[in-house]
Amino acid sequence: MTSRNIRNIIAGLACAALITLGVTAQTNTQSGNQNSSGAYSQNSSSQTSSSSLSSTDKRFVEDAAQGNEAEVQLGELAQQKGTSDDVKDFGLRMVNDHGRAQDQLQALAQSKGMSLPSKPTREQQQQYDRLSKLSGEHFNAEYINTMVQDHSKDVSEYQQEMNSAQDPAVKNYASVNLPILHNHLVRAQNIPGKNIVNQGSSSQSDNTKPPKQ
Q: For 107, how many CA atoms within 13 A lie in the half-sphere containing its CB? A: 8
| Helix then strand then coil, % of the chain, to nearest 5 | 85, 0, 15
User: CB–CB of 96/183 below 8 Å?
Assistant: no
Give the mean model confidence (pLDDT) for residues 156-173: 97
Residue 45 has pLDDT above 60, yes or no: no
112-135: per-residue pLDDT in tens?
Answer: 999 999 889 999 999 999 999 999
Domains in the chain: boundaries: 1-51, 53-195
Which has the higher per-residue pLDDT, 87 or 17?
87
**Which residues lie closer than 8 Å to 110 by C-beta, 6 or more apart?**
none
pLDDT at 1: 55
Alpha carbon separation from 142 to 20, 123, 139, 151 (Å, rounded): 88, 16, 5, 14
pLDDT at 21: 43
Statement: 53-195 belongs to CATH 3.40.50.970? no
- Widest pairwise Cα distance in the chain: 130
Element spanning 195, H or E: none
Which has the higher per-residue pLDDT, 188 or 18?
188
Weakest-pLDDT range from 11-20, 46-55, 116-125, 154-163: 11-20
Residue 209 has pLDDT above 60, yes or no: no
Q: What is the mean pLDDT of the chain?
A: 79
User: CB–CB of 161/181 below 8 Å?
Assistant: no
